[in-house]
Each structure stands twice: as structure tokens, then as C-alpha cells.
């Protein structure tokens, strides 16, 4: 008989849960080993590992979805694989081949199949691939050894409320420098975000919005998600900047808005003092999915978009289209969904 879980799928938030097996592969003497699934969720590494001192680490986030027919599928894992390669190049870590990355994700989902939430609960299986420097190094230099690992856990909404709007406040702090590591998904970016995030949450906001580090006039990120706005004449607009994370969700929404919903789309500057150009706004990301932005606080004033309590019609349509594809109810563009056999 299969393992029985007592999980209330519909009320899951975004909290760690140990699942049965995780994938671990080690890079040593210039190459990756074959990798294997292990039960232990503890890693044992040298005290002189670069990840501990110099933040030589990166990670990814992607999800597995259960379809109505009971199948399991991953959303665009190749995009996460490529972005992890970009992150590795930026901080001098060895890249993982695309096939190895996807195979590791598939192995982890299969090995933890009982944790893939049932269709219709709104919950998904979140996969967390990560890669970091280990071994004995004390000077500031790339590590001699690396670990690539993937674990998974069932999750619900990242921002409280799911498809109900939440408010954000603009941070005075920066998450990235103009020519820094903002476009890479490296650990250090997130260490720097902990304090601004906590200050925002303490003041009752879901998270903070970061402005561009050079001029502090343009929106960059919404916490750990990208920003989009729907202009009053129905265009899908999202910020363009070399220091924001290229969100897989944002890239997908740009395509869906244009090709499926027939909207005009623009990647361009979004000025914080021009928020009145938008009828609706939202945060998008793997964890955030699409979270409607009720209002943004800037210089002591809350700018409300569509409503603080109701999701706007275009945001709702985008949400239905994106999640419809992810859960297999709507046909996906070629190559987007990868079935876990």
C-alpha cells in the first residue's frame, strides 16, 4: 500500500516541508558525478566552503502541476536550467547541462509523487534546484568543489490572499547595483533583501518594491517577483532593466498577452511617479504566480490601482490563461509543458 499523507492541500502556504527524497550531485576534479537520490536532508560541507563566506551560490524555483487526468507536468524547466547556467557563469561556478537539470527535477518529482497536490486544490509541488561552492578555500576565489541539489515540497499561495490584491511599499534600499548581480539568481541578492522585506512586512505590506539603483525613479522588482501593469488603454507593460531577474513567468505572460489575448505588450521604463497610467497592476513569479497589486505606497501615499479587494478583469484573464496552461486545462504553446512519465 502507498504512503498515506495527511496534508490539507487547500490551506498550504509557502513553508518548508521535508519530503522523501532529494537529488544530490557533486562536482570534483572538473566534472559532475552522476547524481543520486538521498533520504537525508542535511548536507555536510567544509567550514571553508565559499558558499558560507562569499555567497557563492545560486538557486532556481519551478513547479510541478497535477492535471485533471492525474498526470504530472513541469512548466518550462528548460528556462530555469538556462537561467541557472547564466547565474553560474556570473559567479564562476560550473554549469549543469540542461538535460542533467531537467532529469534531476523529473527524478525528484517521481520519487516524491505522493506530495504532488491533487488537481483542483490550487496547490503545486515547488522544486528548488540550487548549486553552491564547497571544499577548502579561504582566499576570495572560486571553490574547488560544488554541489548541485534539488528538493521539493508542496506549496500553496506565496502572498497571503492568492488572487486577492495585496499592497506593497517602495523601499529606500536597493536589491542590486547597476552592473551587479541583479539579473542572476544568486543567494547574495536575497540576503540583501531580508531587511527591506522585513521592514515592509512589519508595516503591514506584503513585501517591498525596489526601484532602479541608479536613479531611484523606475520600478524594478516586487520583492521576489516581477512587476506588470495594464495601461488604461489595455497594454501589458513590464519593466526593462539589466538589473532585474528575467522572470520565466513574466516572459511567458508577455507571449500569452500578445499571442493568446491579442494585447499590445511593452518592456520599457515604468516610472514610479507615473503609476496613474495603469488601470491594473500585478506581481508575477513562480512562487507569486500572479498576485494582483491593490496599491503601492510611495512617499507616504498609497496609490490604488483597480481595487484593494477585487482582482481586475485583465489580471484575472491572465491568471486563468497561465494557470490553465500549467494545470493542463488549456493547450500550451509548443514545448512549454514537460510531462513527468
> What residues make contact with ligand COI under the rule CB under 6 A?
61, 224, 285-287
Question: Contact with ligand PLP (CB under 6 A): which of 285, 295, 312, 328?
Answer: 285
When the beta carbons of 61 and 145 are compared against ligand PLP, the nearer one is: 61
Name the residue number minimizing CB distance to ligand PLP. Answer: 285
In the complex, the smallest distance separating the C-beta of residue 75 from ligand PLP, rounded to whole angstroms, is: 10
Closest by CA position to 178, among listed 220, 222, 224, 239: 220
Shorter beta-carbon distance to ligand COI: residue 241 or 286: 286
Residues 6+ apart with CB under 8 A from 233: none
Given ligand PLP, ligand COI, none, residue 248, with its beta carbon under 5 to 8 Å by kind, binds ligand PLP
Residues acting as catalytic residues: 185
Work out whether 248 is an interface residue with ligand PLP (CB under 6 A). yes
Q: Which one-letter DSSP state was computed for residue 14? A: S
Q: Does 326 bind ligand PLP (CB under 6 A)?
A: no
Q: How near is the Cβ of 80 to ligand COI at its closest, in Å?
A: 9
Nearer CB in complex with ligand COI: 80/137: 80
Q: Binding ligand PLP by CB under 6 A: which of 137, 167, 249, 265?
A: 249
The Cα 32–Cα 290 span in angstroms is 36
Residue 247, binding choice from ligand PLP, ligand COI, none, Cβ under 5 to 8 Å by partner class: ligand PLP
Nearer to ligand COI, 109 or 263 (CB): 109
Instruction: Name the residue nearer to ligand COI (CB basis): 152 or 263.
Output: 152
DSSP string, 102-115: HHHHHHHHHHTGGG
Contacts from 135-143 at CB under 8 Å and sequence distance 24+?
A: 135/46, 135/48, 135/49, 135/50, 136/46, 136/48, 137/48, 137/49, 137/50, 138/48, 138/53, 140/54, 141/50, 142/50, 142/56, 142/92, 142/93, 143/49, 143/50, 143/51, 143/56, 143/93
- Contact between residue 293 and residue 305 where contact means Cβ atoms under 8 Å apart: yes
Longest dimension (CA), the chain: 61
Smallest gap, in angstroms, from Cβ of residue 91 to ligand COI?
17
Please report whether residue 77 would count as binding ligand PLP according to CB under 6 A: no
φ/ψ of residue 220, rounded to 5: -110, -65
| From the list ligand PLP, ligand COI, none, partner contacted by residue 226 (C-beta under 5 to 8 A by kind) | ligand PLP
Q: 266: which residues sit within 8 A by CB, 6+ positions away? A: 235, 236, 237, 238
Q: Which residues bind ligand PLP (CB under 6 A)?
A: 61, 221, 224-226, 245, 247-250, 285-286
Amino acid at each position: 500500500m502507498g504512503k498515506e499523507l495527511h496534508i490539507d492541500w487547500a490551506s498550504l502556504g509557502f513553508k518548508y516541508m521535508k519530503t522523501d527524497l532529494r537529488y544530490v550531485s557533486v562536482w570534483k576534479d572538473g566534472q559532475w558525478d552522476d547524481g543520486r537520490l538521498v533520504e537525508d536532508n542535511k548536507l555536510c560541507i567544509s567550514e571553508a566552503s565559499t558558499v558560507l563566506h562569499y555567497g557563492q551560490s545560486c538557486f532556481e524555483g519551478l513547479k510541478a502541476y497535477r492535471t485533471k487526468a492525474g498526470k504530472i507536468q513541469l512548466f518550462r524547466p528548460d528556462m530555469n536550467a538556462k537561467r541557472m547556467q547564466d547565474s553560474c557563469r556570473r559567479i564562476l561556478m560550473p554549469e549543469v547541462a540542461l538535460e542533467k537539470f531537467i532529469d534531476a527535477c523529473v527524478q525528484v518529482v517521481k520519487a516524491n509523487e505522493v506530495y504532488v497536490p491533487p488537481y483542483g486544490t490550487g496547490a503545486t509541488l515547488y522544486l528548488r534546484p540550487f548549486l553552491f561552492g564547497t571544499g577548502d578555500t579561504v582566499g576570495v576565489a572560486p571553490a574547488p568543489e560544488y554541489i548541485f541539489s534539488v528538493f521539493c515540497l508542496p506549496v500553496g499561495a506565496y502572498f497571503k490572499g492568492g488572487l486577492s490584491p495585496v499592497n506593497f511599499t517602495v523601499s529606500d534600499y536597493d536589491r542590486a547595483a547597476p552592473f551587479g548581480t541583479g539579473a542572476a539568481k544568486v543567494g547574495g541578492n536575497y540576503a540583501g533583501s531580508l531587511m527591506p522585506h522585513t521592514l515592509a512586512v512589519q508595516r503591514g505590506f506584503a513585501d517591498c518594491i525596489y526601484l532602479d539603483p541608479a536613479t531611484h525613479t523606475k520600478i524594478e522588482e516586487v520583492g521576489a517577483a516581477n512587476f506588470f501593469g495594464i495601461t488604461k488603454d489595455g497594454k501589458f507593460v513590464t519593466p526593462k532593466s539589466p538589473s532585474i531577474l528575467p522572470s520565466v513567468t513574466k516572459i511567458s505572460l508577455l507571449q500569452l498577452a500578445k499571442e493568446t489575448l491579442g494585447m499590445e505588450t511593452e518592456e520599457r521604463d515604468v516610472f514610479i511617479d507615473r503609476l496613474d497610467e495603469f488601470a491594473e497592476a500585478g506581481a508575477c513569479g513562480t512562487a507569486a504566480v500572479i498576485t494582483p497589486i491593490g496599491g503601492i505606497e510611495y512617499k507616504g501615499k498609497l496609490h490604488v490601482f483597480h481595487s484593494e479587494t477585487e482582482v481586475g478583469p485583465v489580471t484575472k484573464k491572465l491568471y486563468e490563461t497561465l494557470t490553465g496552461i500549467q494545470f493542463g486545462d488549456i493547450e500550451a504553446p509548443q514545448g512549454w509543458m514537460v510531462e513527468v512519465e
